[in-house]
Structure 1
Amino acid sequence: MLQNRGRVEGIRVLVVDDERPTRLLLEKELPRAGYVVTSAESGEGALEQVRAKDFDVILLDLKMPGIGGMEALRRIRESGAAAEVVILTGHPDVDSAITAMKLGAYDYLTKPFKLVELEEVLRRAAERRLLQRENTALRHMVDQREPPPLLVGQSPAMKALLETVQRIAGSDANVLIQGESGTGKGLVARRIHEASPRGTGPFLVINCGGFQDPLLESELFGHEKGAFTGATSVKQGLFEVAEGGTLLLDEVGEMSPAMQAKLLQVLDTRELRRVGGTRMHRVDVRIVAATNKDLSQELRAGRFREDLYYRLNVVSLRLPALRERREDIPLLIEHFLNRFGRAGYAAKSVSPEASQLLVEYPWPGNVRELANAIERLVILTPRPVITPEDLPPNLRAPIGLPHGPSQGPASLSEMERIHIARVLSETGGKKMQAARLLGIDIKTLNQKIKRYNIIP
């Protein structure tokens, strides 16, 4: 009897053999070790199963009527299936073994075999498949590497947020995070992931507003070889790569209606079909969605699907803007001074007068804008202490206050309009530079320029 469990628990195995006793034996013994077993009695049956499902390991008999094991192996590899293949044969032949290895077989086992021998080969094949999955996820995570998710703040708003994050982390429910640009939606998503049972799995991020529909579909769901010009090989999408982990759909409010429908189908069925493919792939991933839009308003305007909104909004979090938690600004200043000091810059501090100006400033770009401002001050200030004279004009002068005694305070949107116009003026109309100073991306800046009718 096979005894190995642990990392092989749930590994999907396809047994392909025309001999019924062999199939029955493996169908009985392998599940006892934690494997999930499907069987086929021919090469044709194996190819049908591979087209319909994903497998981690395939035990493939070499000599079968019709499509033999070698031809089945060749077609399996051409299909792009990532399963490890172990060849089974009652007629050992060195040339056949070499051919099978060249075609991509993982190992070669002679029948009759002992169950303990099969257990060892199957365990190694399963672990190799798991390592391949993990390496694929790690490559994506390295490409998206960020500092650890440190959420700084002692304000009532931040304490309430962190308590909610801890409560929801243990569930597998989808989460919708809403908040202005720069408030830390990505950090909160990572904190949820790392505090969850999926915390040891992948955490991947995609900006849904950064791709046209065909590219976004390929990034999310993957594509088959030849699906479109340039698709020279099979590619797994992020839903598959994030298996067992969490996928953050950033700026989900930017999705087109067509992509919203496709996303909804995957969330409903937990299955996807790669672009250009016919086979359904099961996916196991937690979804966290983030947006700087008010999705309930987008829903009422007909720009966001109601069914998708409720599918994503199982748990909702709203992140406070930095102006709503000004008491956290001194802590954030200290945090960023320490971070940039560790990055190799000269150690700096901020004078009480400069700190007060930073606290009073409205920070339309939120924490991201504050971080950029502190980094700039650390680099450009020649002295150890940052004073009001070191602050750029937009941080020194109160903004958004209309001139004349008869007028009251400006609205928040008017303050934001004036601030954006001032930063654009200081940068000579250079939008990329202005966006960096504001702590927002260029797309968001363009939207605000259009909304406020600002002429750069």
Structure 2
Amino acid sequence: MQALYRLVARVMNTDLAVLITGESGTGKSLIARAIHDFSDRRTLPFVVAQAQDLQGADGPSALIARARGGSLVFDEVGDFDDEAQGRIVRLLDTLGSNAPRIMATSQVDLGRRMEGGGFRQDLFYRLGGVTLAVPSLRERVDDIPALAEHFLTRGEREGFALRRLNAEAMELIRAYSWPGNVRQLENTVRRLLVTSPEEEIGRSEVEAILGNQPAMEPMKGGGEGDRLSASVAKHLKRYFDLHGGALPPPGLYGRILREVEMPLIEIALDATAGNQAKCADLLGINRNTLRKKITELDIRVTRRRKLM
């Protein structure tokens, strides 16, 4: 993060376009805002644009008028369709003097998407004057305790009672993989502030909240079986390593199976429009076994017409 901050400081007052990449919840929008707020453009507008803002004959020109000489940020530009991408290209090609600083955020790999034909090459190179890669929270484990303490302190300023995490609770928070990154950590701490009856928050209270949240790291790549297996192995090895010489809490087998089974069954049910017979056949399990799993995992089943 310190290296990232140094790069931010160097590009802050340049006119280069900035592409900010990273997983959801890492703080990409906050980085864009910081670049604007600490730059020479801080007194000018900061405009965040979605794909719909580019629609209509006057959409692009209206964005430029709103941003004036400030900052214009295309939020999650990797999700923009080809028409919206083309409008951005034409917008960028018409910028003159007093143009806004252009920034974009993306949680997808735009280079890989471009190679697959899903993102325009001309837009990719126009947006990537400088690329800032925001690391995931699990890549900066030492930041987790400091961030948790920061959110506890901020909660006190917002009117919550003073709370602190005991050593075991902090150890568990540090060991968790945080697939939702800083945003998930902040929301978890806020829940602890609301639900914890005692001044000291213990391990059991943290376990109660994290037990209902994903424990696996986001899966990347093409989704092949070997990638999934490697991701699971990496997560488990890191989980064991973070406990030092001690073993993780008992029940690891059940917790990991639950994290895999739940999304698997939910996605299979969605793919079969909630038809449990078809879902059981797709999964290759007995229908009664599927019903039992649905009950145990508290999965909500909604029947609907599948549009193909």
- Same topology, TM > 0.5: yes
Residue in structure 2 matching 1:327, options 137, 142, 151: 142
Matched residue, 2:232:
410
Alignment-mate amino acid for residue 122 of structure 2: D
Q: Is the 8 A contact 1:400 1:418 kept in 2?
A: no
Change in 2 beyond 3 A, CA 1:260/1:412: farther
Is the contact made by 1:351 and 1:386 (CA closer than 8 Å) also made in structure 2?
yes
Q: Say whether residues 1:376 and 2:191 are aligned partners.
A: yes
> Of residues 391, 395, 398 in structure 1, which corresponds to 2:210?
395
Question: Whole-Å Cα distance in 1 between the matches of residues 88 and 67 of structure 2?
Answer: 15
| Aligned with residue 385 of structure 1, among 192, 195, 200 | 200
Q: Give deviations 1:399-429, integer Å, cap 9, x for gaps.
A: 559xxxxx9982468999964866999xxx9
Q: 2:55 corresponds to which residue?
A: 217
Query: What residue in structure 2 maps to residue 190 of structure 1?
Result: 33
Stretches of structure 2 lacking an aligned partner (at least 5 in a row): 218-228, 240-255, 270-298, 301-308
Whose radius of gyration is greater, 1 or 2? 1
Question: Out of 248, 252, 264, which is 2:73 matched to?
Answer: 248
Cα distance change of structure 1 residues 180 and 420 upon mapping to structure 2, 3 Å threshold? farther
**Deviation (angstroms), 1:262:** 1.1
Pairwise mapping of residues 125-274 of structure 1 onto structure 2 (< 5 A)? Answer: 158-208=1-51, 211=52, 216-218=54-56, 221-222=58-59, 237-270=62-95
Q: CA deviation at 1:199?
A: 1.5
CA contact (8 A) 1:333 1:374 kept: yes
Tell whether 2:164 aligns with 1:349: yes
Q: C-alpha distance in 1, partners of 2:69/2:199?
A: 47
Root-mean-square deviation over aligned CA pairs? 3.3
Deviation of 1:221 after TM superposition, in Å, equals 4.7
Alignment of 1:72-83 (within 5 A): none
Cα deviation for residue 395 of structure 1 reads 2.7
Aligned residue type for 1:292: Q
Opposite residue 246 of structure 1, the aligned amino acid is S
Structure 2 CA distance for aligned equivalents of residues 268 and 243 of structure 1: 16
Q: Does the aligned pair in 2 maintain the 1:400–1:410 contact within 8 Å? A: yes
Residue 391 of structure 1: SS of its match in structure 2? helix
Equivalent residue number for residue 284 of structure 1: 99
> Take 2:135 and 2:101, find their aligned partners in 1: how far apart are those partners?
24
8 Å CA contact retained: 1:175, 1:313: yes
AA partner of residue 161 (structure 2): A
Q: What whole-Å deviation, never above 9, does each CA across 1:22-52 have from its counterpart, x for those lacking one?
A: xxxxxxxxxxxxxxxxxxxxxxxxxxxxxxx
Shift in alpha-carbon separation, 1:162–1:417, aligned structure 2, 3 A: farther
The one-character-per-residue Cα deviations of 1:132-182 (angstroms, maximum 9, x if unpaired) are: xxxxxxxxxxxxxxxxxxxxxxxxxx1000000000001011000110000
TM superposition shift of 1:270: 1.1
Per-residue deviation, residues 316-349 of structure 1 (Å, max 9, x unmatched): 0111000000100011001111111111111111
Q: Is the 2:72–2:103 contact (alpha carbons within 8 Å) kept by the matching residues of 1?
A: yes
Decide whether the 8 Å contact of 1:337 with 1:348 is kept in 2. Answer: yes
Alpha carbons 1:183, 1:320 under 8 Å: kept: yes
Q: Distance in 2 between matches of 1:376 and 1:422?
A: 23
Q: Residues of 1 paired with 2:166 and 2:148: CA distance?
A: 11
Residue type of the alignment partner of 2:109: D
- Kindly tell me: are residues 288 and 413 of structure 1, through their superposed partners in 2, closer, same or farther at Cα, counting changes over 3 Å? farther
Contact 2:178 2:215 in 1 (8 A): no
What letter is aligned with 2:232? A
Are the structure 2 counterparts of residues 413 and 358 from structure 1 closer, same or farther at C-alpha, using a change threshold of 3 Å? closer
Per-residue CA deviation, residues 189-247 of structure 1 (Å, 9 max, x unaligned), is 01111222111111121344xx4xxx5425x9549xxxxxxxxxxxx733211111001
Whole-Å separation in 2 of the counterparts to 1:181 and 1:381: 27
Of 292, 296, 299, the match for 2:111: 296
Query: Could you state the TM-score of these two structures normalised by the residue count of structure 2?
Result: 0.69
* Cα offset, 1:387, TM superposition: 0.6
More strand by share: 1
Distance 1:409 1:266 in 2: 40
Q: Which residue of 1 aligns with 2:176?
A: 361
Work out the CA distance in 1 between the residues paired with 2:36 and 2:25. 19
Q: Would you say the 8 A contact 1:171–1:196 is kept in 2?
A: no
The amino acid of 2:80's aligned partner reads M
Aligned to 2:103, what secondary structure does the other structure show?
strand
Identical aligned pairs, as a percentage? 39
